[in-house]
Amino acid sequence: MSDSPATTRPPYLDAGLPVAARVADLLARMSLADKVGQMTQAERASVTPADVTAYRLGSMLSGGGSSPTPNTARAWADMYDGYQRAALDTPLRVPLLYGVDAVHGHNNVHGATIFPHNIGLGATRDPELVRRIGRATAEEVAGTGIHWDFAPCLAVVRDPRWGRTYEAFGEVPAIPEAMATMVSGLQDGVPSVLATAKHYLGDGGTTGGVDRGDTRLSEAELRALHLPPFRAAVERGVGSVMVSYSAWNGLPLHAHAYLLTTVLKGELGFDGIVVSDYNAVDLIDGEPGFTPEEVRTAVNAGLDMVMVPSEWRRFIAVLCAEVEAGRVPMARVDDAVRRILTAKFRLGLFESPLADRSWTPSVGSPAHRALAREAVRASQVLLHNDGGALPLARAGARYLVTGRNADDMGHQCGGWSITWQGSSGAITPGTTILDGIRAAAGGAEIVHDPGAERAGDGWTAAIAVLGEAPYAEFKGDRPELPGLDEADLAVLARLRAAGVPVVVVLVSGRPLDVAAHAGDWAALVAAWLPGTEGAGVADVLFGDHPPAGRLPVTWPGLYPFGHGLSY
């Protein structure tokens, strides 16, 4: 017996049909409210499951630190499934696409593997390692139900005063261009997680390194410096591109039809989702709160999905009104929704919308932590090594481990770790640099003294783990290149007064101004922001693995781009 018309499944639910045919069928069934709902991305703190159903929301996100309680992988999957079931209660049963900033592992989730930030990965010069990290991240993200990662950042950082320096792979386009393998790691294979090339375009080149600032370059310079990594990502089939808060020669990127539509979608042939940054459409005119003019300007410029964390109801009403008034063409809306639906079909969300719990045990797994440790040791850059101070000897040696970053998980993870700006202390399970030193020391004596109060006790050497406290974009901007803080300088003064040889390990998201002090040190290692597996630092200090990293950025006043010693 054939199905009656009332029970016939619509073509868009037929997994045997081509994706384009399924998209066309579903799009033809959608009202304007359905379409605008798909173009709207709301933050979980401002959305209930009932809202998802009522407003036909197409996407949600967790901003930095926006986590369920308890903050466990299982709770994340439960939360995701709750929202997804609400989406499936809508008449057309269009699943949600849920996004998260898993920028160095699934870094919002307690217990996840946190890999080195991108600046450290850039020091490895190893695209295959980065691809493998993308694959591991995809598994952990999928283990919490999520299918969209706002990574990788492909900025070309031109000024280390910029607070997002650590999110960039390097200062020349060839490095992030090569590291676009992260896209393949996230997307290619099972599970597949939608990758995001961000932030388009020129965010690392703003005047003075000011976050959300203005990149003042000719078009030829913009293309030569900042476009190549995005071209590489598009060639790898990246599923989404996030637009930069910044401007190019005064015009905000979120209003830039030439760069978004003519160049990205036309010239580069990008066929995925162009998504705004967090509340960025609100900032086009420089005033708080978005206006109808900002909404129509952004959508007409080429935005397909708009991230409006809390004001999403108003956004829906405004965009619907702009379309009904003819100021945003229905063809532009259809193009945006077509791109969004295509991504959902390609990800298999219509067939398997709920969390695949078989991936949940991968979150923080031993295999992923071993990969992270490998990445840490590959990222270490030996900047100088007077008289062979490194590698450290074991038998009969006595080492004083000092400095505020030696035993602080939050500091070695940096920003975008459990919370947006990051924080101090035992924020998540892992191995601190001190833990790693103790495990690697063999017969050497290790004493931990954060303030170097025992500097005069006859040590073979002091291992001073110094550097920055956590920060993220905007709050991490500095008017001058940052140096060491008063606590670090006090430690160094005590060590210098005692005459003990000093091996400095700098934990930082960018080069620091240490030119006035580096001459006093026996050795200097740039450890960057290594993440949860601090044992990788000790692997290099004790010579179990030679230092292989090379500077991905110039170290002002000291070391050129590409510098890096070995033993």
Looking at the annotation, which residues are catalytic?
277, 473
Strands laid side by side in the 306-307 sheet: 148-149, 97-100, 59-62, 40-43, 306-307
**Residue 267 half-sphere exposure, CB side, CA atoms within 13 Å?**
13
Query: Please, which residues bridge with residue 565 across strands?
Result: 382
Structure tokens at 293: 């003019």
Encoded tokens for 410: 């939050």
What length does the chain have?
A: 567
Helix, strand, coil % in the chain, rounded to nearest 5: 40, 15, 45
CA distances from 62 to 68, 101, 288, 352 (A): 10, 8, 22, 21
User: Quick one: CA dihedral 537, 538, 540, 544, positive or negative?
Assistant: negative
Q: Which residues contact 2 (CB under 8 A, 6 or more apart)?
A: none
| N- to C-terminal Cα separation, the chain | 77
By CB atoms closer than 10 A (0-12, 13-18, 19+), residue 563 is: middle
Q: What is the b/e burial string over 244-255, where b = at least 16 CB atoms within 10 angstroms of the residue's CB?
A: bbbbbeeebbbb
Backbone angles phi, psi at 264, to 5 degrees: -70, -55
The encoded tokens of residue 455 equal 């500097």
Locate 332 and state its tokens: 């532009």
Tokens of 500: 């003990």
